[in-house]
Amino acid sequence: MHGSIFALLKRYVQTQYDHSTWVTLTELSGLETMEYDAKEVYPDEHIYALVGHAAEQTGIPAGELHEKFGEYLVPDLMYMYQKLIKPEWKTLDMIEHTEGTMHARVRQEHEHNAPPVLKVTRLNENELIVDYVSPRRMGGLAVGIIRGLATFFDEADRIDVMPTTSEEGERVSIHVRRT
Ligand code: HEM
């Protein structure tokens, strides 16, 4: 997984909880000596261990933590890839173009980057379906990112995010509608 995701997870835990919580999570995961560089790629097992221990420590299910973390990630992701974003895009356009622009660029940047495949079917101006496919089973993160995009584009009160499958599978379907 992309080092920037780890760097942001560290900042998320430090700001939502505190620095000692991050230290505890790294110790419980056997990763206390790790430094995460945004330009490197690290084993997926590290993120599973850190989020798994975070779930145990907080009592919040891992899927829910993924959602919250996904929401938190959005402003930084938008900043990192701002050159690829068209000024006229809003939430639904952003989701529609992620696979062909943002995730395509992420794949080019490092041979080991592997963002999920997002097949997006735009039903009409105000509605689309995202079919998420990833062996990482992080559909909760996808739901959180969509909610974070809605907040980013100031459409949070108009965007409904409705997963139509379990969020825990390798394939997750998410219906997104603007009212
Ligand atoms: C500004 C737009 C976006 C950017 C810049 C972006 C970038 C990234 C990056 C850098 C990763 C790490 C990939 C890796 O380490 O191999 C990632 C993973 C991920 N992205 Fe995106 N992404 C964007 C939008 C989205 C959207 C709209 C969704 C969902 C609808 C999404 C869902 C995910 C998920 C769930 C992962 C975790 C890895 C996995 O499940 O396999 N992303 N993204």
Ligand 1 centroid – CA 102 distance (Å): 8
Write down which residue in 40, 60, 80 finishes a domain.
60
Ligand 1 centroid – CA 52 distance (Å): 19
Q: Which residues contact 25 (CB under 8 A, 6 or more apart)?
A: 13, 50, 53, 54, 57
pLDDT tens for 59-104 read: 999 999 999 999 999 999 999 999 999 999 999 999 999 999 999 9
pLDDT at 103: 97
Whether residues 89 and 12 fall in one domain: no
Whether residues 44 and 78 fall in one domain: no
Buried b (16+ CB within 10 A) or exposed e, 137-165: bbbbbbbbbbbbbbebbeeeeebebebee
Residue (of 77, 59, 49) closest to 17 by Cα position: 59
Whether residues 22 and 69 fall in one domain: no
Whether residues 86 and 12 fall in one domain: no
* Position in ligand 1 atom list of the atom nearest CA 41: 15
CATH number for the domain harbouring residue 110: 3.90.1520.10
Whether residues 154 and 79 fall in one domain: yes
Write down which residue in 60, 79, 106 finishes a domain.
60
Ligand 1 centroid – CA 141 distance (Å): 8
- Please state, rounded to an integer, the average pLDDT across all residues of the chain: 96
How many domains are contained in the chain? Answer: 2
Distance, C-alpha 116 to centroid of its chain = 10
Whether residues 13 and 53 fall in one domain: yes
**Residue 48 to residues 10, 16, 42, 106: CA-CA distances in angstroms?**
14, 19, 12, 21
Domain range for 32 is: 3-60
Whether residues 72 and 130 fall in one domain: yes
Whether residues 69 and 46 fall in one domain: no
pLDDT at 86: 97
Distance from C-alpha of 69 to C-alpha of 61, rounded to nearest angstrom: 12
pLDDT at 73: 97
Whether residues 158 and 100 fall in one domain: yes
- For a mutational test of ligand 1's pocket, the pick from 8, 39, 141, i.e. the residue with the most ligand atoms closer than 8 A to its C-beta, is 141
Whether residues 70 and 7 fall in one domain: no
Length of the chain: 179
pLDDT at 165: 97
pLDDT tens for 100-145 read: 999 999 999 999 999 999 999 999 999 999 999 999 999 999 999 9
Whether residues 21 and 48 fall in one domain: yes
Whether residues 97 and 169 fall in one domain: yes
pLDDT at 4: 95
Task: Indicate the pLDDT class of residue 21, thresholds 50, 70 and 90.
Answer: very high
